[in-house]
């Protein structure tokens, strides 16, 4: 085996494995020839020392083709994982660098890997995915969801990760979870580890102590001498001690964030049983009350924020108010690895005694709690401890659980903390409101706002202003919320900045909301507020979406997904997927809309995320409307614009109405469209949505029964009003949609000459916004008026093409197919097709057939000509056959 940049090209057989029949069967299914070249993906998860790497080694050794194993890079710098992967696959450093550039571009890992592998059957084994950098993980997940390129055999992927790491959702992927060995498997492994085999009493003791953990068994045997294995010398007591567990779990603990390690130490110290220094003190850990952990964290100055993530990741388990280590060996390893200063600090704070007191209270053993600690002290601490416990529980549900459960827990936390920790109570109230907002429950939002009766200053303005806005008293809401934007928007605290940004959104000042949320994100980064980053990115992406900055919103949402993944915040990820679905609906990318909307709804529905679900359904409807499926879009939008508990989100319902009116009118549902537009007119009158007047005019134009001939008519008036009002609100995409609707209306009334102007303007805007699907629609309407898909061919427009578009156009003009161009430029055929459609629109032509004439008429042809001639001549040689 030859090592290459942390990777190995495997030629030797893999190790023997025991009690892994199901796992090896899954590997065999992955390795078996499919006949379709579709490849496959198998995720393997397990705890430290449970044999993930051994399974990968066995799979690589048994694979009939070429297998590569790639370990996690030593440092999580951006793209370090992808760099290690391409170093393993590429024949040279130059090819590896080229592949990395491709992976970081729009074509992604799939194209980069395909370009390096060719048609070879390959198994790629990626070890410890949880230790790879976020950029590489996100790029790999996108490649796996996309699948192999058309006409190219896909590699098989065998990917291992720690048990707490959730593999990305990939259609068709299989996941196996490694478990512990049974007694027979453990005895067989012992027979491999020691020659001659250990004495039967030693085998029994080691199998019992290791509890089926293969890594613990290997480490325990490794430190025994021959006499101990033979049973003639006593075994160490205990056979599995802190040194053994540190060897197995030490690397895993080192890679956890420092605050998570410290909090695990608090849990382990609080759950320790037995007297100090006794051998059993590190062998048995009891369950610990959540209140006791929070109190111990405060006493030892340990941040408690990681607790919800540790529970969500499965490192800790919460049952009946008690916390336990999911893996008892991990708890003992944490104790063994904790420095002596942490033990001394815990003793000074009397953490174990306080923990036993709180745990007895949690189990209802009041009589025992009275013996363990002073009742007066317990009663004095209980409200704060219980409040923080509810706060942690609410934060966990807000991140990855039913949001209305989070709302209730956070409200309870605010009540318990109000007198003793007012700042934390204020945060809990705001988060309870956010949870209810995400759940689409306006009444619950008002309940959270009403609980701040003792608030003052800017918080009072926020509570009063938002309460007035939710009850449609905007004249009262505006001054209060404007003060919040002015005061909190000038602060450096990211929590206050998030509140100010939310106030700006309610006021309809989307530009200010985006600006303030960008500041909140910058402050969260500067202060290393890792847990707050996903929320800050979620707020910013939505503000940019509302402000019409679609490319920025997409970039922010993708970064938000990368930040939410390692912290287990699936609810935030669902919202970001919904934002990406809406951005894709602007671009007209139906596949991306379906993918992101599906991922958003997978979480939004079970967790009650009405806001994310509404955005995702809206994106799906816009994509359907863009493809001409008006009836289907209208049916999807009806529930979103309906009022009431079973209707759409209270804050999004009116935003969806213009899209519904357009779809409903086209689908023959004019009465429903008229009723929705009438309600929208009332909403537009409140003045909290800058685009509403223009969109209302468009709705009225679509509903009007204008004259069939002539220049007059109500519809023509309202279309003109809509365009005029769009000029003052700044959303170019919605203006282009109005122009498209206007041009289509003119064409249907047999006024093609008048229709071409609005349609050309719409086409140019759609192209500038990279809204390809809508641009195709506008181009089709323009051709129906007698225009040439955007006008006559314009050779002078060549200089407006990007360098990539120029290269592709030259090759296409020479007769190269999309697939040949893709192979030459290391792109996907789909990307080539996307660029060609942009070329056709910019040059004012309908198809590639017109390209040679333009090149011959004077467009530059020198650069790229050699490549095109090479492609065409090679294709000609293939057609002619051997001479």
Retrieve residue 252's tokens: 């895993």
- In the chain, the percentage of residues whose pLDDT exceeds 70 is 81
Task: Give the Cα separation of 268 and 245 in Å (integer).
Answer: 14
Look at 529 and 609; give whichever has higher pLDDT.
609
Strand order from edge to edge, sheet including 174-177: 2-4, 7-10, 66-70, 122-126, 156-162, 40-46, 174-177
Q: What is the pLDDT of residue 615?
A: 94
Enumerate residues 6+ apart whose C-beta is below 8 A from 279.
Answer: 237, 238
Q: What is the pLDDT of residue 375?
A: 44
Residue 262: closest CA among 348, 322, 346, 319: 346
Task: Give the Cα separation of 413 and 291 in Å (integer).
Answer: 12
Q: What is the pLDDT of residue 138?
A: 82
Mean pLDDT score of the chain, rounded to an integer?
Answer: 79
Look at 111 and 503; give whichever has higher pLDDT.
503
Task: Give the Cα separation of 67 and 125 in Å (integer).
Answer: 7
Strand extents, DSSP E, 312-449: 316-319, 322-325
Q: Please, which pLDDT band fits residue 346 given cuts at 50, 70 and 90?
A: low
Are the C-beta atoms of 323 and 317 separated by less than 8 Å? Answer: yes
Task: Give the Cα separation of 48 and 315 in Å (integer).
Answer: 12
Task: Give the Cα separation of 62 and 443 in Å (integer).
Answer: 61
pLDDT in tens, 127-143: 999 888 888 888 888 88
Q: Please, which pLDDT band fits residue 573 given cuts at 50, 70 and 90?
A: very high
Least confident of 187-201, 265-279, 506-520, 838-852: 265-279
Are the C-beta atoms of 625 and 662 separated by less than 8 Å? Answer: yes
Q: What is the pLDDT of residue 546?
A: 85
Q: What is the pLDDT of residue 865?
A: 42
Radius of gyration of the chain, Cα coordinates, nearest whole angstrom = 32
- The reported pTM is 0.53
pLDDT at 283 over 60: no
pLDDT at 29 over 50: yes
Task: Give the Cα separation of 671 and 666 in Å (integer).
Answer: 12
Are the C-beta atoms of 86 and 68 separated by less than 8 Å? Answer: no
Residue with tokens 């060897």: 247
Return the SS3 of 763: helix
Retrieve residue 141's tokens: 């997940």
Are the C-beta atoms of 571 and 398 separated by less than 8 Å? Answer: yes
pLDDT at 864 over 50: no
Q: Please, which pLDDT band fits residue 474 given cuts at 50, 70 and 90?
A: confident
Task: Give the Cα separation of 718 and 757 in Å (integer).
Answer: 17
Peptide bond into 727 cis (omega under 30): no
Q: What integer is the mean pLDDT of 644-657?
A: 83
Where b means 16+ CB within 10 Å and e means fewer, 424-452 reads bbbbbbbbbbbbbbbbbbeebbbebbebb
3-state secondary structure 75-132: CCCCCHHHHHHHHHHCCCHHHHHHHHHHHHCCCHHHHHHHHHHCCCCEEEEECCHHHC
pLDDT at 501 over 70: yes
Q: What integer is the mean pLDDT of 253-264?
A: 86
Q: What integer is the mean pLDDT of 409-435?
A: 87
DSSP lists the bridge partners of residue 426 as none
Q: Please, which pLDDT band fits residue 489 given cuts at 50, 70 and 90?
A: low
Peptide bond into 145 cis (omega under 30): no
> What phi, psi does 69 have (nearest 5°)?
-110, 130
- Measured in whole angstroms, the distance separating CA 163 from the mean position of its chain's CA atoms is 19
Q: What is the pLDDT of residue 845?
A: 72
Strand order from edge to edge, sheet including 288-289: 288-289, 322-325, 316-319
Rounded (5°) CA angle 715-718-723:
125
Q: What integer is the mean pLDDT of 507-527?
A: 88
Q: What is the pLDDT of residue 847?
A: 66
In angstroms, the Cα distances linking 711 to 405, 452, 708, 743 are 58, 58, 9, 13
Q: What is the pLDDT of residue 368?
A: 38
Enumerate residues 6+ apart whose C-beta is below 8 A from 848.
Answer: 812, 813, 836, 840
Return the SS3 of 37: coil
Task: Give the Cα separation of 5 and 1 in Å (integer).
Answer: 13
pLDDT at 505 over 80: yes
Q: What is the pLDDT of residue 151?
A: 67
Could you say which DSSP state residue 237 is in? S
pLDDT in tens, 767-808: 777 777 778 778 888 888 776 544 445 555 677 778 888 888
Retrieve residue 353's tokens: 């005694």
- Measured in whole angstroms, the distance separating CA 6 from the mean position of its chain's CA atoms is 28
pLDDT at 342 over 90: no
Look at 437 and 851; give whichever has higher pLDDT.
437
Are the C-beta atoms of 196 and 231 separated by less than 8 Å? Answer: no
Return the SS3 of 417: helix
Q: What is the pLDDT of residue 453?
A: 61
């Amino acid at each position: 085996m030859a090592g290459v940049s942390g990777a190995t090209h495997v030629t030797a057989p893999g190790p023997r494995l025991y009690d892994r029949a199901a796992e090896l069967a899954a590997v065999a299914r992955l390795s078996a020839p499919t006949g379709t070249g579709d490849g496959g993906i198998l995720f393997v998860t397990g705890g430290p020392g449970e044999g993930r790497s051994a399974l990968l080694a066995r799979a690589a050794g048994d694979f009939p083709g070429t297998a590569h194993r790639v370990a996690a890079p030593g440092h999580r710098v951006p793209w370090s994982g992808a760099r290690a992967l391409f170093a393993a696959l590429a024949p040279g450093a130059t090819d590896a660098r080229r592949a990395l550039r491709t992976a970081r571009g729009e074509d992604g890992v799939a194209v980069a890997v395909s370009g390096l592998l060719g048609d070879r059957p390959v198994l790629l084994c990626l070890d410890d995915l949880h230790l790879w950098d976020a950029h590489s993980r996100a790029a790999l997940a996108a490649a796996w969801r996309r699948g192999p390129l058309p006409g190219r055999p896909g590699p098989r992927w065998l990917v291992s990760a720690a048990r707490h790491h959730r593999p990305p959702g990939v259609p068709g992927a299989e996941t196996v979870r490694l478990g512990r060995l049974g007694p027979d498997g453990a005895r067989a492994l012992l027979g491999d580890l020691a020659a001659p085999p250990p004495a039967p009493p030693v085998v029994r003791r080691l199998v019992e102590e290791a509890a089926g953990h293969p890594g613990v068994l290997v480490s325990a045997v490794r430190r025994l001498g021959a006499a101990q294995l033979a049973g003639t010398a006593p075994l160490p007591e205990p056979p599995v001690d802190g040194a053994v567990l540190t060897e197995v779990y030490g690397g895993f603990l080192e890679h956890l964030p420092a605050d998570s390690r410290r909090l695990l130490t608090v849990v382990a110290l609080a759950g320790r049983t037995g007297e100090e220094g006794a051998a059993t003190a590190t062998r048995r850990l009891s369950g610990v009350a959540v209140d006791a952990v929070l109190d111990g964290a405060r006493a030892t100055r340990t941040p408690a924020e990681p607790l919800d993530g540790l529970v969500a990741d499965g490192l800790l388990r919460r049952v009946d108010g008690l916390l336990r280590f999911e893996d008892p060996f991990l708890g003992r390893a944490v104790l063994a690895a904790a420095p002596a200063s942490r033990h001394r600090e815990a003793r000074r704070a009397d953490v174990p005694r306080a923990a036993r007191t709180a745990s007895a209270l949690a189990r209802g053993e009041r009589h025992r709690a009275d013996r363990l600690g002073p009742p007066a002290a317990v009663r004095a601490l209980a409200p704060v401890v219980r409040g923080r416990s509810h706060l942690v529980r609410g934060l966990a549900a807000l991140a990855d659980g039913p949001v209305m459960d989070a709302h209730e827990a956070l409200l309870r936390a605010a009540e318990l903390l109000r007198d003793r920790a007012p700042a934390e109570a204020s945060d809990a109230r705001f988060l309870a409101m956010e949870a209810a907002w995400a759940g689409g429950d306006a009444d619950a939002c008002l309940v959270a706002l009403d609980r701040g009766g003792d608030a003052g200053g800017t918080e009072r303005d926020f509570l009063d202003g938002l309460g007035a806005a939710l009850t449609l008293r905007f004249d009262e809401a505006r001054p209060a919320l404007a003060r919040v934007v002015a005061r909190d928007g000038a602060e450096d605290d990211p929590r206050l900045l998030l509140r100010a940004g939310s106030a700006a959104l309610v006021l309809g000042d989307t530009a200010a909301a985006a600006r303030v949320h960008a500041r909140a994100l910058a402050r969260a980064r500067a202060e290393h507020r890792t847990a707050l980053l996903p929320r800050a990115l979620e707020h910013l992406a939505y503000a940019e979406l509302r402000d019409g900055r679609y490319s920025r919103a997409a970039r922010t949402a993708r970064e938000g997904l990368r930040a939410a993944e390692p912290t287990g915040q699936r609810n935030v990820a669902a919202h970001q997927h919904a934002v990406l679905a809406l951005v894709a609906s602007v671009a007209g990318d139906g596949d991306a809309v379906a993918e992101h909307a599906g991922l958003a709804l997978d979480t939004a529905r079970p967790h009650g995320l009405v806001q994310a679900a509404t955005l995702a359904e809206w994106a799906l409807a816009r994509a359907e409307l863009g493809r001409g499926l008006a009836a289907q879009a209208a049916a999807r939008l009806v529930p979103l614009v309906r009022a009431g508990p079973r209707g759409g989100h209270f804050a999004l319902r009116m935003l969806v109405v213009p899209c519904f009116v357009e779809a409903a009118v086209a689908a023959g549902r004019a009465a429903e469209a008229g009723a929705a537009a009438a309600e929208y007119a009332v909403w537009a009158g409140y003045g909290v949505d800058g685009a509403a007047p223009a969109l209302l005019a468009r709705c009225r134009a679509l509903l009007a029964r204008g004259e069939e001939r002539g220049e007059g008519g109500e519809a023509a008036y309202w279309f003109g009003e809509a365009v005029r009002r769009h000029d003052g609100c700044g959303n170019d995409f919605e203006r282009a949609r109005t122009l498209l609707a206007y041009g289509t209306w003119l064409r249907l009334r047999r006024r093609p000459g008048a229709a071409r102007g609005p349609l050309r303007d719409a086409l140019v805007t759609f192209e500038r916004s990279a809204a390809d699907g809508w641009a195709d629609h506008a181009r089709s309407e323009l051709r129906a008026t007698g225009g040439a898909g955007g006008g006559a061919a314009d050779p002078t427009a060549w200089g407006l093409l990007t360098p990539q578009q120029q290269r592709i156009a030259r090759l296409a003009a020479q007769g190269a197919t999309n697939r040949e161009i893709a192979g030459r430029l290391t792109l996907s055929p789909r990307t080539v097709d996307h660029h060609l459609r942009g070329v056709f629109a910019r040059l004012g032509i309908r198809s590639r057939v017109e390209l040679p004439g333009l090149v011959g008429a004077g467009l530059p042809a020198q650069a790229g000509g050699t490549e095109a001639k090479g492609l065409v001549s090679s294709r000609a040689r293939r057609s002619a056959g051997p001479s």
